[in-house]
Amino acid sequence: MDSITSIWHGELTTEDLNQLNNGSLGEHLNIVFTEKGPDYLVATMPVNEKTKQPFGLLHGGASVALAETVGSVATWCCVNRETFIGVGIEINANHIKAVTSGSVKAVCRPLSVSGRLHIWDIKLYNEANELCCTSRFTCMVVAKNKF
């Protein structure tokens, strides 16, 4: 089997990625990075009182927040982190299956990672590994000192 060349810039662990959530929406929603492969990231988020809508289902906005968090971090992993960050400029999501409990897992893979625009495919799965949501996220690489 051919090995996949890593798309990431430098060495990072899931612990490094989880530290990014400190003091952010990712921390509030309990998003946890669980895996980093050569060309993908995986993160989980609980389906609970923080992430459900009033009718007891996983809130679509929480799904999108998970997708954007994972996609933004994926872009950050691809660039020189001393100089650049990624900021979201477009996201869409199709909600396919309702989730009422447990957790969801986001799997983020690149569609295009070159230049200043990175496009990510993010799929969310329930605990039965059924597809719940699919999202496409576009992230712009900008100078870190711009903000």
Amino acid at 126: N
Residues annotated catalytic, as ranges = 68
Amino acid at 21: N
- Separation CA 49–CA 29 (nearest Å): 10
- Separation CA 15–CA 33 (nearest Å): 8
Pick from 72, 80, 78: nearest CA to 137: 72
